[in-house]
Structure 1
């Protein structure tokens, strides 16, 4: 059991080290030597767990996808509060991108031209936002004339933009930045009686 636990810890350390190295240097420049050194393990241990740099990138993407699924979570069974849930999840995503290197690197790998993503985090995010907007429309939360597909375009473009810009300047991922985006968009999206119940800063904000 102890040997298995060590193997799990080594694998997790390598995934985190790879995420940090990909984030700092980019996939093309990152070397397996730098990744193993940062993780504090031998090259042999790295190759025992991962056959190539591409395999390591795939593991980072997989771990990032697991984290994204944790952030998006399950929908309430009654189908209400869809727009507020969307707001809350975008705040959670921004917080994760700001504070968690594996999640951030997973998203960055989706846009790295030197790497063919095995898991496209940005596409998974788009799909979730699309589902959220369809639910909001079905729940009667959207203003008349708002096409869900247009709303999806606006939300995905903005949030992916925050992700890209936030790699260099964390202010793009700050709660206030996300809240200001929603303050601008929600009056266009939501019915007036729904709008009065929404919190652009997130439902958990003071």
Structure 2
């Protein structure tokens, strides 16, 4: 039992360290030696858990995607209004990107064209935004003449842009920046008449997000 717990801790340390290195230098320049050194384990211990760098990158992306999935599911469960749930989830995603290195490293890998592999991470976010906007359109939340597809493309493009810029300058991920984005976009999406129903700053404090992100690392390994 002690050995099993130690193995779980080692694996998590390696994923954390790998995420940090990937976020800092990208996939190709990252070395397994640098990752094992940062995790405080031997190269042999690293290879016991991960046969190569690609498998380690996949593990980082998988954990990041799981965090995004939990985040979006929680936002949807809290909000009956699908558009407001997207607003809330956007704020929470940016807060997690700012404070959770595994999520940040996962998104860095997702945008690394040198890997030549398809990442589930941005697709997971895009799929959820599209599904939410479809429901918003069916529920009459969107203004007349606004299609769910156009709205989803703008939101996904903007949030991915904030994520990329935030990787170099964390101020792009601030609640103020995200709020300004939504304050500009919401009048177009909902129409002036229904604007008061949506809150551009989010319907809950963003400070709740880091605790949720940390719970991923504290939960039992799958």
- List gaps (5 residues or longer) in structure 1: none
Q: Residue in 2 aligned with 1:8?
A: 8
Give the match's secondary structure for 1:141.
coil
Give the match's secondary structure for 2:115.
coil
Q: Residue in 2 aligned with 1:177?
A: 177
**Can you list the C-alpha shifts for 1:95-132, whole angstroms capped at 9, x where unaligned?**
01111111011111111022133533112111111011
Say how many residue pairs are matched: 205
- List gaps (5 residues or longer) in structure 2: 207-222
- Cα contact 1:65–1:121 (8 A) shared by 2: yes
Q: Residue in 1 aligned with 2:156?
A: 156
State whether structure 2 residue 190 is matched by structure 1 residue 190. Answer: yes
State whether structure 2 residue 65 is matched by structure 1 residue 42. Answer: no
- d(CA) in 2 for partners of 1:198, 1:205: 15
For the aligned residue pairs, the C-alpha RMSD in angstroms reads 1.6
Q: How does 1:1-206 map to 2 (within 5 A)?
A: 1-74=1-74, 75-76=76-77, 80-117=80-117, 119-205=119-205
Q: TM-score, normalised by structure 1?
A: 0.95
Give the match's secondary structure for 2:114.
coil
- Cα contact 1:62–1:119 (8 A) shared by 2: no
**Can you list the C-alpha shifts for 1:39-88, whole angstroms capped at 9, x where unaligned?**
000000000000000000000010001111111115349x8311111100
Return 106-115 or 47-56, whichever deviates more.
106-115
- d(CA) in 2 for partners of 1:17, 1:116: 22
Give the match's secondary structure for 2:142.
coil
Whose helix fraction is larger, Structure 1's or Structure 2's? 2
- d(CA) in 1 for partners of 2:194, 2:15: 43
User: Measured at CA, do residues 47 and 205 of structure 1 come closer, stay the same or move farther in structure 2, by a change above 3 Å?
Assistant: closer
- Cα contact 2:36–2:46 (8 A) shared by 1: yes
Give the match's secondary structure for 2:184.
helix
User: Measured at CA, do residues 143 and 82 of structure 1 come closer, stay the same or move farther in structure 2, by a change above 3 Å?
Assistant: same
